[in-house]
A and B are shown apart, each in its own frame.
Chain A
């Protein structure tokens, strides 16, 4: 079936004129119409724009143009500004917001000829690990619709897993691409901080956010990342480093690769999860890699560190939502303070307000040193631990999440329990490192993800390692029942 084909295979068929982009687009639009209601993964479907994009792609193809993403349909996480299309960030605050410009990532993919099918549901303003905080309702995991898909890129992950598009985009601040990728059995890539432009990506935590891709395989992700990545003068934190030809580097052999196993990752991991991870690692060693035990002694502090730094930055980033120039505005404000307090109080959901208040608290006079500065010092210690580890190994491996997908509603009442879902992923964000999650098995019919973390700008190494793993296994080809 068309939705089973890789991006490369689709591009070949489009080039060979065995298929048109318009046909391919209609195929995915039909799947969305049929399958999305049970998942709530897509909140805006841009039917007319998609067909127009597809027609334009077909014209370019007819003119002899070729490109790895030309005519390929995608869904963007609703955190990326898309010119003329609602960009809600999963929030009532932006329910009426039509973005007047394209994010750089959106523009780059558009230039490559993608077809945008719509915008994916997400945890509100990217704050969450289960996609239960969205104003538009929770997203359901296609593997078991009573379970969460993970978050905050839960809609992107569910849509990718259910094959509602050839790939989806997401963002990762504390694990928001990798964790939902793991819970939905797909491949998720978070690049190095500064690798992909943040311009037009609504900011949650500026020093942690990165845009990335959720796809069927490392090979597909490589093709997309090559287009998304690159220096952007509009983003001062964008790094001017050339983008490697990721697809061309996928075949790098694993022989001689040194893979670090973090003791802290395996301490206390549930036995069946642990077994799947060890089995996956056995595949690597069979292919010639060596495993080495390493320790990042400050890593257990990564979750408290993150829950000081990220809220601090978001409390400031979200101050612009005030009902004055765009977005939700309360009715009949009696004065300026009322305008602000009720527009924001009514426009934001509970988790967002919690994080804004946490952030305000840790930055406030009397607490700044003990919380914010302290956290940024611990952040440096964690980063130094990673750097020391990468002097001994080429990449780190371990589980992406502590458990497979949990039930919708199970953890939403206790924020701290929810926060601990990010325990394996957060460290990479604090240190700005690239990470990949690839499916490596199932526990009770629910997907489990293997995480690989690399040093700065080692995306090629991560993608090739994941690709070699996917050549030797078939976890990434499994389909949820009903979504074949």
Chain B
């Protein structure tokens, strides 16, 4: 087993794009952790003259927005929001996806049929509209946005988990467990799940990127949590000033793009390292 793991790490480390992604994400996590220390005061408070362009005033390296709030502070604090929502939404999606996919494959028959129809239902509902509906019904709070994003992104994970479970459930080691009289839950969680997990985790890492994009769209529309600094909201706030100060939109957008880019590169790298045969495709 350890040799497999080192093999995996070596393959990942050979992938230059994935390493770039890893460095970017580590930098982002650094910024997110350091934000309360670098900018200890509330990032949403007004600190200077409005609409100072980036690189003009050394006190505000990324400039100020239309109200005179420090963009650098909002970006740093926004990194916390982005990472937290991305991780939690992906975790929610992974939990739902694994539960649905594993039960469908393990029990088969009408359970499988019902759960797959359920999955199809969630693939049919236009996902962003569903998120907006949930947020409008439950209220504009960061927890609800996170859960809503998780609820619309679990379907690919359910499908993958189901496929992995299908290929594993009739293997000899599972039959041996059955013969020993192990219960369903123990076989599913203790025996099959650990073997099915690696590709599912890879997919979950890609779901984080999708969740970040979702959250940014919801905040951009002004339906995110109004009390929390978020990159999407910053773009939405700056929209009215694109004729004079388009940098207010450009800077947080670049942050979103780099984050999603880095997460995608890591996800692709993990995928390639996991399936070395597919690499040359």
A binds B: no
Interface residues, chain B, with chain A CB atoms under 8 Å away: none
Chain A contacts to B: CB under 8 angstroms: none
